[in-house]
Amino acid sequence: MLHVDTAKLLPANDSEPVAMPRLTPAEQPFPKLIGLDITEATPKRVRATLATRNELCRSGGTLHGGAIMSLADIVASCGAFLNLPEGAATTTIESKTNFIGAAKAGEPVFAEAVALHVGRRSSVWQTSVTRADGKLVAMVIQTQMVI
């Protein structure tokens, strides 16, 4: 489910879909444990859907903050990855999350990362996590460093 199949890459508004032949940030062990599904991936925007399985939740039946931050980190990392020169890698150097609303177990959430800035040495990504009804769950801004 996690494999970024190029056939699944939807065209974005402002750029063509990008094939990701190398192992992407979403195809690593921890992202597989979280279980998100990348639905769009371009150098300017990456989207993913996460099924709010019970094991990603707090006892109250809402998505855990750690799962929300993990989702956003993976999606933004994919965006940074798509801007890397050949042979380079990316690493998150800082991430800030504001938690706004709750997401219930059993209902999917949607993450969308957009580039605020893409430089030669680093990029800055803003990722919103929303519910199916459009309500904001969290807003994340983070810096990805080229290494």
Contact positions vs a copy of itself (CB under 8 A): 23, 25, 27-34, 54-60, 64-67, 69-71, 73-74, 77, 89, 91-101, 116-117, 121-122, 124, 126, 136, 139, 141, 143, 145
Distance (Å, whole) CA 147 – CA 143: 13
Nearest 5°: CA angle at 48, between 47 and 50?
155
Nearer to a copy of itself, 16 or 94 (CB): 94
Cα distances (angstroms) measured from residue 106 to each of 52, 54, 56, 95, 125 = 5, 7, 10, 27, 28
To a copy of itself, the closest distance from the beta carbon of 11 in angstroms equals: 25
To a copy of itself, the closest distance from the beta carbon of 13 in angstroms equals: 18
To a copy of itself, the closest distance from the beta carbon of 145 in angstroms equals: 8
Nearer to a copy of itself, 9 or 80 (CB): 80
Distance (Å, whole) CA 99 – CA 102: 8
